[in-house]
Homo-oligomer: A and B are copies of this chain.
Amino acid sequence: MSKVTCHMSMSVDGFVAGPHQSLENPLGIGGPLLHEWHFDPMHEDDLAWRDSLLAPKGAYIMGRNMFGPIRGEWDDDWRGWWGDEPPYHAPVFVLTHHAREPIEMQGGTTFYFVDGFEAAFEQARAIAGDKEIDIAGGASTVRQALNAGVINELVVDVAPVVLGSGESIFAGITDVKLEQIEVAHSPFATHIRYRVG
């Protein structure tokens, strides 16, 4: 069976997005600071972790808030934040209660719209073969995956940033066991890989 991974940039205080997420601030106030470690100019010690983030996967699962700011019925003009060629290059299962036809993008990304984490995960399993399934985010989708007990490996990139409040992938999670299996760092982030039990 394919490995299920999750790789999140996080503040020192445990948030993957800042407060007050909006169309203007999709990552919340201060949220973009979490991602500076994988922007240019990049430190050589961060390269392997950026590459792991962008490595080919068999499928992704993503929350609707991560796909776009639209609530309720779909606006068919919205095709994600990433332009014509999103960086996924694989099937992406977007969690939503509102049905929508799949959207085939350039570069191998196809967005499928599925009602419920369990259904999305079954479809991702079926299509991923022996390749990784990645839980792309946001926080609520990662929490669903942790509660479902399906994540095998979690990487957090701890940025030297304090947000004070925001979205946590662990809020209310009490029964997840972590085993720390790898640590590396540049001046811009501390990367920690955990096996999830």
Contact = CB atoms under 8 A, between A and B. Distances in A.
A59 interface: no
Given A13-B14, A192-B158, A192-B190, A171 B164 contact: yes
Interface in A138-183: 156, 158, 160-165, 168-174, 176, 178-180, 183
B13 A168 contact: yes
What is the copy number of this chain in the assembly?
2
A157 B192 CA distance: 13
Chain A residues touching B, majority SS: loop
Nearest to A178: B160
A162 B190 contact: no
Q: Please classify how large the interface on chain A is, using the bins under 10, 10 to 19, 20 to 34, 35 or more.
A: 20 to 34
Given A12-B14, A168-B13, A174-B163, A188 B183 contact: no
A100 interface: no
B180 A183 contact: no
Contact of A161 (B30, B169, B178, B189): B178
Nearest to A179: B160
A41 interface: no
Interface of A: 11-15, 30, 156, 158, 160-165, 168-174, 176, 178-180, 183, 185, 187-190, 192, 194
9 A-B pairs closest in CB distance: A14-B14, A13-B170, A183-B185, A13-B14, A160-B178, A160-B180, A164-B174, A164-B173, A162-B176
